[in-house]
């Protein structure tokens, strides 16, 4: 049962007495108004709202609850933010920062999974640890791999930092150490596997052939081909010798061959230039991420490729390794793949064995008799 804030409350009277003794505020309402003015400098706030049985004042227009209570003769303030409101404002802040739709979708997807059971954002580290560090009851192993746990930590840290600055809520991430990054080489096709996949392309549908050829020859991210947030490859993005790609790192130019350009445009079939290049299997809607993964899995199954993860990112990594194998340089590869940090691109130098061997032989030509 709720009652209006102006009605008498035990905790209010206690708070008022404490503040009166300290000569800081005339009454509780002034104290709470000051608190909220600090949390929300603009626009001016009123504490008109409704309180629940725990004494939380709910501000309907902000999705925020404020609770003040006396602990050891001192006033303690607690602020809760509704999960839906927090996620909405966090998304808006990322959009204001200029983050791509692909990046914002990654944040939203992870946070929605975490916040789904909670009406209000949990601010105790036990809830965060229970999610990031949850284990399979049968095997006792972590559900998420180490790098995934690290990615969750980074996104949660950004989210809670935003809430702390915006609303003054506690930040549990300050007490949770970041998981170490697990250094491992990305899965990719070796030259023999790549040749095998290319040899079976004629056995696939025309659309599937073009998709696999596109991923192998350009290294596009899956989200740059089939992104539910709007960064779809469209016919208007296909130019004479390059693609205009919009994705995680913003817009960039990705070179293409004439053969690939012709095959991409062959998918148009009278559709407008603003239409997505690839459609789903059984409808006129755009190809989804799930549909894209199915295309790659079908290709791997027909080719009989095993021991390598059948996913679009495997083809992206295969492009990176193959580009260096064929004599490409890291700086150019960075621009093609859209990496902000060249350290990300440098990982392909570790899987490009042929380039290492060729470079070694070149330095030893003078020693050959």
- Mean of the pLDDT values across residues 284-309? 91
Look at residue 323 and tell me if it is in a domain: yes
In a domain, 369, yes or no: no
Orientation of helix 146-167 relative to helix 125-132, angle to 10°: 150
Instruction: Decide if 186 is inside a domain.
Output: no
The answer to whether residues 222 and 287 belong to one domain is yes
| One domain for residues 169 and 300 | no
Say if 292 falls within a structural domain: yes
- Token digits for 361? 């032989």
Do the domain assignments include residue 364? no
Residue 189 φ/ψ, nearest 5 degrees? -85, 135
C-alpha 88, offset from chain centre: 15
Q: How far apart are CA 277 and CA 113, in angstroms?
A: 31
What confidence score (pLDDT) does residue 193 get? 93
CA dist., res. 325 & res. 274, Å (int): 36
Residue 303: per-residue pLDDT? 94
Domain that holds residue 270: 191-359
The pLDDT of residue 228 is 58
- Assess if residue 262 is contained within a domain: yes
Examine the pLDDT at 160 and tell me if it is beyond 90. yes
Q: Are residues 287 and 240 in the same domain?
A: yes
Average pLDDT over residues 159-164: 94
Same domain, 346 and 235: yes
> Distance from CA of residue 93 to its chain's centroid?
14
Residue that terminates a domain, selected from 175, 206, 230: 175
Residue 365 lies in a domain: no
Pick the residue with more confidence: 23 or 212?
212
**Residue 293: per-residue pLDDT:** 93
Secondary structure tally for the chain: helices H, strands E? 14, 7
Q: Is residue 116 part of a domain?
A: yes
Residue where one domain finishes, among candidates 175, 203, 228: 175
Closest among 97, 70, 89, 60 to 16, alpha carbons compared: 70
Number of domains in the chain: 3
75 plus 88 within the same structural domain: no
pLDDT at 229: 63
Q: What is the per-residue pLDDT across 1-56, written as a single tens digit (0 to 9) for each?
A: 333 333 333 444 444 444 444 444 444 445 555 554 554 444 333 344 444 444 45
Q: Are residues 226 and 246 in the same domain?
A: yes
What confidence score (pLDDT) does residue 65 get?
Answer: 61
pTM for this predicted structure = 0.64
Same domain, 228 and 305: yes
Q: What are the distances in angstroms from CA 350 to CA 161, 204, 320, 327, 357? A: 36, 32, 11, 14, 12
- Which residues sit opposite 75 in a β-bridge? 70
Residues 77 and 90 reside in one and the same domain: no
pLDDT score, position 286: 86
Read off the tokens for 15. Answer: 């708070």
More confident residue, 344 or 26: 344
pLDDT confidence of 217, banded at 50, 70, 90?
very high
Q: Are residues 44 and 107 in the same domain?
A: no
**CATH (domain of 203):** 1.10.443.10
Whether residues 139 and 215 fall in one domain: no
- pLDDT number for residue 10: 43
Which of 175, 208, 231 represents a domain boundary (last residue)?
175
Distances (CA, A) of 54 to 1, 120, 190, 193, 328: 10, 14, 62, 63, 65
Q: Are residues 155 and 21 in the same domain?
A: no
Shared-domain flag, residues 73 and 108:
no
């Amino acid at each position: 049962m709720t009652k209006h804030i102006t009605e008498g409350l035990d905790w209010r009277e206690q708070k008022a007495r404490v503040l009166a003794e300290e000569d800081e505020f005339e009454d509780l309402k002034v104290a709470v108004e000051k608190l909220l003015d600090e949390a929300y400098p603009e626009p001016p706030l009123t504490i008109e709202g409704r309180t629940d049985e725990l004494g939380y004042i709910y501000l309907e227009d902000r999705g925020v609850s404020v609770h003040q209570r006396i602990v050891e003769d001192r006033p303690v303030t607690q602020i809760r933010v509704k999960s839906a409101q927090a996620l909405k404002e966090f998304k808006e802040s990322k959009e204001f920062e200029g983050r791509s739709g692909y990046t914002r979708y990654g944040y939203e997807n992870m946070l929605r999974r975490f916040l789904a059971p909670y009406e209000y954002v949990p601010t105790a580290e036990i809830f965060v640890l229970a999610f990031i560090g949850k284990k399979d009851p049968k095997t006792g192993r972590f559900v998420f791999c180490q790098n995934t746990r690290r990615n969750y930590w980074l996104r949660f840290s950004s989210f809670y930092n935003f809430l702390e600055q915006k609303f003054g809520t506690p930040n549990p991430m300050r007490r949770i150490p970041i998981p170490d990054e697990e250094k491992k080489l990305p899965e990719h096709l070796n030259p023999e596997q790549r040749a095998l996949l290319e040899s079976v392309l004629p056995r696939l549908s025309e659309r599937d052939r073009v998709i696999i050829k596109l991923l192998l020859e350009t290294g596009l991210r899956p989200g740059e081909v089939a992104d539910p947030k709007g960064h779809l490859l469209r016919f208007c993005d296909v130019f004479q010798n390059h693609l205009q790609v919009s994705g995680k790192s913003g817009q960039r130019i990705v070179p293409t061959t004439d053969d690939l350009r012709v095959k991409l445009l062959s998918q148009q079939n009278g559709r407008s230039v603003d239409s997505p290049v690839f459609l789903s299997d059984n409808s006129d809607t755009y190809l989804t991420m799930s549909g894209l993964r199915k295309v790659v899995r079908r290709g791997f199954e027909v080719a009989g490729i095993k021991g390598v993860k059948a996913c679009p990112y495997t083809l992206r990594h295969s492009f990176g390794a193959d580009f260096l194998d064929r004599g490409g340089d890291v700086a150019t590869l960075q621009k093609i793949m859209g990496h902000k940090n060249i350290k990300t691109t440098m990982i392909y130098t570790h899987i490009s064995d042929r380039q290492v061997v060729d470079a070694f032989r070149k330095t030893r030509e003078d020693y050959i008799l």
